[in-house]
Structure 1
Amino acid sequence: MATNGQRLYSVLTRKDVGEKMMKEIDQISEVFSLSKSDAIVILTHLRWNSFKVSDRLGDDKERFLAELGLVRVSDMSQENESIACFADHKTNSDGVGDYLVSTPFCSHKFCITCWRDYLNELLEKKKNNNEEDGAVAVLCPNPDCSAPVGPDTIGKLTEPVKEMYESYVLGSFMESNKDSIRWCHAPGCDYAIERHEEDVLVEDGETCLDFGVICLCGHNYCWSCQLEPHLPVTCENAALWCNRTLDVLKNVAWIAENTKPCPRCNTPVQRDANSNLRFMTCICSHSFCWRCFKSEAEHKRRGKCAEVKPKNADSSEMYTHYLSLWESGHEGLEKSKSDLNSIEENVIPRLMECVSHEDTMALKEAWLLMVQCRLVLKWSSVFEYFIHEYQRLEKPFVDHLRRDATMTMLRHKETVEKVMNLAISSGDFTFFKHKLDTSTTTTGNFFHEYVKNLLKDALREVKVDSSENASVSYWLCNRCKVKNSWSDRQCKMCFVHLDSPIPPPHPNVAFDNN
């Protein structure tokens, strides 16, 4: 999504990435009068840090090249050649080793098969180990030789070996520049995403790329953590929500719907399958009325039975409220995705018969914006959840912003549907395109400001309430000993507050010591 007419990232093809890499290689090669092969060896050795490469070559070029073994062996005579092949190598009819290859920096010759097996094993090992420490140079197969292997040597080998090495060099370039350019991690996707560092919004160390990254393959994800885009929620809170909090809320919602707290010990009690059964007996042996919470004896004495709201009802309703917001937001998001797929499959092909490709892309962009807006609204419910009790004054403001954003998104949806239907019926899209573009721009800017306001006004406070020096990532309830996240101000199981003292045991509760 464009923000005020600017994109915060670009989608690149593999060819585009290769051209960016070659631009760095050519620059080092031209400035310091090096072969491209030597430039690649140096750049991979220094992890594609052009500034460090320039410093080392500028200080003492010859010494640095010697350190890397980039000193060519000259006037090599046949007698000095060393055939170090691991297996029987092939020669042509006159006995000359046409199939033997050595680096320009040593005299150790190996056959094509040995080179292939060596490089295959070495590069696969480097790939699996994901080495990030120091140099990642490929050296001569001879274990006692430190001569580097570059494209000038690889070029003498077979095509599969060349492709293997080129993939290694490109992977080295990507790994070294992973802060600014990364492959899309969707299965089978060959695109890369490059962020525009000068336009990136940074808040408290969190990198924000618009409303997330959308690859040309259709995959949508957060640049920082690879979850689905989750603004205005931080990556830390988004991970906590997905990994733990959401499941806990579902459990709390089930407990609230299917149980009531015992009026004596506050333990959740589930009603028996017989829904007409009035009196429940807790594990503490206390028997109480399901409607009025009076004890069985008191209930029979007084006779009157008025339904009473459980003490923890407000807390339960709060948790189920956020769960309901999340689930309805998710349903709306999935519906918008389904609508977008339907538009791409059924509507756009029909419009392409009478309108330009640019116009159909404008329609697709308008529908895609709705998906992104739905995504922001979905995660806004999580943002509200992580506003702690001491920030309740913020909640009405945040809720007001979310309602305004929802209405803006619905108005955009109504406009897009109306324009699309008129374009289909009239066969003329040009007349309606201005209205569509205006709605898309206005809505996109509104949601940008919506997220920006939340980040600016509340993000510093809406953090997981935990200390970096804490020995554990949870607190134990004093009553039921259930583990709770530091973002929870009261126990998810029995609703006892975080700061509540240990309750004394009820005098009538007997414990079995056997």
Structure 2
Amino acid sequence: MSSDEAENLYSDGSEAQEEIEVDDYKILDTASIESTMKKQIGEIEILLGVSEGVGRLLLQAHKWNKDSITDKFYDSPDRDTFLIESNIIPTDPQPFEEGEAECEICCETTELVGLDCNHRSCKECWKAYLTEKIKDGQSEIECMDSKCKLLLKDAKVIEYLSNDAKLIQSYRRLILDKYVQSNMFLCWCPGADCGRAVKSSYGDSQLITCQCGTKFCFKCSNEWHEPVSCHHMRLWVKKCGQNSETANWILKNTKDCPKCLAQIEKNGGCNYIRCTNPACGFQFCWICLKAWSVHAQAWYNCNSFDQAAEKTREKFRTNLDRYIFYYNRYNGHRDSLKLESKLIRKVEQQMQRMQARGMSFTEVQFLRTAVDTLRICRETMMFTYVFAYYLEKNNHSLIFESNQKDLEMATETLSGYLEQDLQTEDLSKLKQNVQDKCAYVERRRKQLMDHCAEGDEKGHWAFSE
């Protein structure tokens, strides 16, 4: 490999642009990340006296923790022992056999190439093997021999890819992905075709606004979900995927087997039901849910309301009902956000009319600010219902619900005003009303968020799973 190829082992040669720093995080382009990674690799290679490519394998194995590598290195009897234990060099290096021979993979007689372990194959078989590993997302690739754990150095991988530019680029991308994924202070922007990464000062949940316009949580890379934790947001997304499309249908069209609680759908006119659970098979009446044998007795009145039985059935439906309660409110605000473009068009038309009546472009921006404020408050309201779903009841949760109610009312008041009351002749009064409502809803949102943050700090919240 030439010196130029070695220089570009981990990059395509593009120059790093200026890092964009925002508050306590930085926006990095791909070239900047590559430059930082190469610097770390170079430092460890100089420190340990190893060749290019070895440093990257060692750093990846130790999650890019330089101290972890050096501690293990100095604890080893010698450098070779350390590299053998890291699967960088073989335990018993074999002299490489030169010349043509039969490839054990494809049975073609041709020039064979291989590693220091002397496991050899033809270049085409090596390329096919490496291609599959790269497609599987592996950037640390072991020898082709199934019993050998020796890792291929990055320079060797690129050599065996036979100048296939697309494959080499995929391999470099994998290396960069593993570097970012292994670093708790780095994450990729989830925006479509963005290619930028974010470097956080403390590597925890925080709102990130990328240059591409994508807003997301640094810790989980999902949309920003304050005040919900990443853990509960993952649980909620999973639960919605399982329940949201079927929950309403289940409530309307099924009943629980009185014995095993399996959900039963009635698909005929007869009220005689046999549980479809093979382990149960309980026979009961669809109307009163009593055993059919009891229901058939002359003394039993199916038309008599059994309050105790009804309470038992309600108990088993409580969790589903509770989920639907919070899901409907969560989804209501999400649906409203989807209609934001319609409100924006309406507001922009009003802004144009106001400019036609003598107001400047700057003066009418209060309306666009109001739409942005409304969007932020709806996003907050949406996630407060996820927060509330997992929140256990106590005195602090009652205060939360009160603050949530206030923000809900303020948000709907602002929304209604923007939707219905913009057509007025008194532009000064309109501006004052909109600004007053925006200021109030922002105060209510801050009050709610501050209370949630205070609850986290002081341990006031208790959550269910």
Could you state the TM-score of these two structures normalised by the residue count of structure 1?
A: 0.51
Work out the CA distance in 1 between the residues paired with 2:185 and 2:334. 29
Q: Is the 8 A contact 1:9 1:196 kept in 2?
A: yes
The residue identity in structure 1 corresponding to 2:383 is W
- Which residue number corresponds to residue 9 of structure 2? none
Work out whether 1:380 is the aligned partner of 2:381. Answer: no
Please state whether the residue corresponding to 1:232 is helix, strand or coil: coil
Distance 1:191 1:33, change over 3 A: same
- Which residue number corresponds to residue 28 of structure 1? 44
The residue identity in structure 1 corresponding to 2:89 is G
- Which residue number corresponds to residue 334 of structure 1? 335
Q: Is the 8 A contact 1:44 1:169 kept in 2?
A: no
- Which residue number corresponds to residue 173 of structure 1? 179
Work out the CA distance in 1 between the residues paired with 2:440 and 2:460. 28
Q: Is the 8 A contact 1:140 1:148 kept in 2?
A: no
Structure 2 unaligned residues grouped into runs of 5+: 1-20, 256-265, 270-285, 353-359, 428-434
* Selected match of 1:44 from 53, 57, 60: 60
Work out the CA distance in 2 between the residues paired with 1:166 and 1:41. 13
The residue identity in structure 2 corresponding to 1:380 is T
The residue identity in structure 2 corresponding to 1:173 is Y
- Which residue number corresponds to residue 430 of structure 2? none
The residue identity in structure 1 corresponding to 2:171 is Y
- Which residue number corresponds to residue 69 of structure 1? 89
C-alpha displacement of 1:366: 7.5
Q: Is the 8 A contact 2:347 2:368 kept in 1?
A: no
C-alpha displacement of 1:339: 1.4
Offset from partner CA, 1:10-59 (integer Å, 9 cap, x none): 66544444334223213323444544333223323444332222334455
- Which residue number corresponds to residue 198 of structure 1? 202
- Which residue number corresponds to residue 116 of structure 1? 127
Work out whether 1:238 is the aligned partner of 2:236. Answer: yes
| Alignment coverage as a number of residue pairs | 377
The residue identity in structure 1 corresponding to 2:381 is L
- Which residue number corresponds to residue 206 of structure 2? 209
Work out the CA distance in 2 between the residues paired with 1:320 and 1:402. 20
Work out whether 1:154 is the aligned partner of 2:158. Answer: yes
Q: How does 1:227-306 map to 2 (within 5 A)?
A: 229=225, 231-232=227-228, 235=232, 238=236, 241-242=239-240, 250=248, 254=252, 282=288, 284=290
Offset from partner CA, 1:164-215 (integer Å, 9 cap, x none): 43234224324433x44444567x6454664636263xxxxxxx435x8889
- Which residue number corresponds to residue 451 of structure 1? 452
Work out the CA distance in 1 between the residues paired with 2:211 and 2:388. 29
Work out the CA distance in 1 between the residues paired with 2:37 and 2:211. 21
Distance 1:393 1:341, change over 3 A: same
Work out the CA distance in 2 between the residues paired with 1:47 and 1:199. 15
Work out the CA distance in 2 between the residues paired with 1:463 and 1:217. 34
Q: Aligned Cα RMSD in Å?
A: 6.1
Distance 1:149 1:175, change over 3 A: same
The residue identity in structure 1 corresponding to 2:400 is V
Q: Is the 8 A contact 1:101 1:110 kept in 2?
A: yes
Q: Is the 8 A contact 1:191 1:215 kept in 2?
A: no
Q: Is the 8 A contact 2:25 2:200 kept in 1?
A: yes
Work out the CA distance in 2 between the residues paired with 1:364 and 1:70. 66
C-alpha displacement of 1:85: 6.9
The residue identity in structure 1 corresponding to 2:182 is S
Q: Is the 8 A contact 1:102 1:109 kept in 2?
A: yes
C-alpha displacement of 1:400: 0.8
* Selected match of 2:406 from 399, 404, 407: 404
Q: Is the 8 A contact 1:191 1:216 kept in 2?
A: no
C-alpha displacement of 1:117: 1.7
Work out the CA distance in 1 between the residues paired with 2:35 and 2:346. 34
Q: Is the 8 A contact 2:186 2:199 kept in 1?
A: yes
The residue identity in structure 1 corresponding to 2:200 is H
Work out whether 1:463 is the aligned partner of 2:461. Answer: no
Offset from partner CA, 1:73-104 (integer Å, 9 cap, x none): 9xx9xx963556734548xxxxxxxxx7666x
Work out the CA distance in 2 between the residues paired with 1:112 and 1:21. 29
Q: How does 1:349-498 map to 2 (within 5 A)?
A: 370-387=374-391, 391=393, 393-394=395-396, 396-407=398-409, 409=411, 445-446=446-447, 448-456=449-457, 460-464=461-465
Work out the CA distance in 2 between the residues paired with 1:145 and 1:152. 15
- Which residue number corresponds to residue 506 of structure 1? none
Please state whether the residue corresponding to 1:463 is helix, strand or coil: coil
C-alpha displacement of 1:116: 1.5
Q: Is the 8 A contact 1:46 1:52 kept in 2?
A: yes
Work out the CA distance in 1 between the residues paired with 2:414 and 2:219. 27
Work out the CA distance in 1 between the residues paired with 2:26 and 2:339. 25
* Selected match of 1:81 from 98, 107, 127: 98
Please state whether the residue corresponding to 1:198 is helix, strand or coil: coil
The residue identity in structure 2 corresponding to 1:400 is S
Work out the CA distance in 1 between the residues paired with 2:24 and 2:249. 39
Distance 1:112 1:64, change over 3 A: same
The residue identity in structure 1 corresponding to 2:405 is R
Work out the CA distance in 2 between the residues paired with 1:20 and 1:444. 40
C-alpha displacement of 1:402: 0.1
Work out the CA distance in 2 between the residues paired with 1:31 and 1:436. 62
Q: Is the 8 A contact 2:215 2:223 kept in 1?
A: no
**Per chain length, whose mean CA-contact separation is higher, i.e. which structure has more relative contact order (CA < 8 Å, sep 6+)?**
1
Please state whether the residue corresponding to 2:339 is helix, strand or coil: helix
